[in-house]
Amino acid sequence: MFNVNFAIVANNKPAQLPNADAIIRACTTHLNKNNSSNPTANQRGMSLVNESGIPYAWVKFGPSITMAEARTQDYVAHSVNGTAAAATACVRVPNVYLAFVDNDNWGYIIMEFVAGAVCSNTDAPAVAKAVEHLITIHPPNAQLGHFGGSPIFHPLFNDRKSSVEYPSVTLLEDHINGILRSFGYNVYVDFSQEAEAHDLCLCPSDMNRQNFIKEPNDTIVVLDFGEACFLPASFFDLALRGEDSYTRRLRPLISRQPSAQLDGLLLAKGALVVTGNNNLGLPAKLN
């Protein structure tokens, strides 16, 4: 019997879904088998199949999988799936059936299985349309990070993760401006108008092609919410400046006017890279 802490147990989970202990054992077997005989296989994901060998669920697992990610995917799936706007955008998100952490602090997210193919270059316009819909998703409160609160996962920060959680947009703004002052830049950011006009929005920051699947009906399914946090809209503009090849392909296809705060964020990102210190300019209240 494993000691597990549950984050999500969905009412609509499949009746044949194994319990947490069985899922942990299956994932351990999968990992050990592929480590020795098939090192190119997916080391942090596996499908669950029914008696006929047909996949009905997907398990994402590993030491970097958090329940904050699971909560975010669950919230976004409920916000997107089945809505008229999502149908128009031809986008959906896999439903989360179960999520938990084991006694080794490995996370497990068991979700709906998606049958389809990783999106190609020719699918980029459809993916851009799907992403445009995702950034219209707002949280129910002003909590930054993943749904329910977390550090910020975003390429602004070294290792793509902030060193602290931010209780307010004001303190996040204070930190960015502290970074800029540390380098003597005569630039500052002001998220107040952005937050007032748009509230926080979902910011998908990892837009590589592996995170988008096209189903046979041409619906784009968005995967991986590890770097999808609720942030001021300008953080999405910064994410679009990423060097991933698929992100570069999506950039001109996503219709939006870049935020006036983008220049400040670009300078702050450069300062953090140079110093290698995510605590640079951190307000005393966050120490």
- Measured in whole angstroms, the distance separating CA 10 from the mean position of its chain's CA atoms is 20
Residue 41 has what pLDDT?
47
What's the pLDDT score for residue 196? 67
What is the predicted pLDDT for the residue at 40? 47
Rounded to two decimals, the pTM is 0.94
Q: What is the per-residue pLDDT for 210?
A: 95
CATH class entry, domain 115-287: alpha beta
Q: What is the largest CA-CA distance in the chain?
A: 65
Site of tokens 């008696």:
51
Where are the chain's structural domains?
5-113, 115-287
Q: Which of 207, 218, 203 is nearest to 123 (CA)?
A: 218
Distance (Å, rounded) from C-alpha 145 to C-alpha 155?
A: 13
Please report, for residues 80, 131, 136, 176, the alpha-carbon distance to residue 92 in angstroms, rounded to integers and kept in the order given. 6, 11, 14, 33
List, run by run, the mean pLDDT of 10-residue segments along the chain (287 residues): 87 94 93 64 80 95 95 98 95 97 95 96 98 95 94 98 96 98 96 76 96 97 97 96 95 90 97 98 94
Angstrom distance (rounded) from CA 98 to CA 112: 10
pLDDT of res. 194: 77
Q: Is 130 exposed, middle or buried (0-12, 13-18, 19+ CB in 10 A)?
A: buried
Is residue 197 within 8 A of residue 116, CB to CB? The reply is no
Contact by Cβ (8 Å): 177, 281: yes
| 201: phi then psi, degrees, rounded to nearest 5 | -130, 160
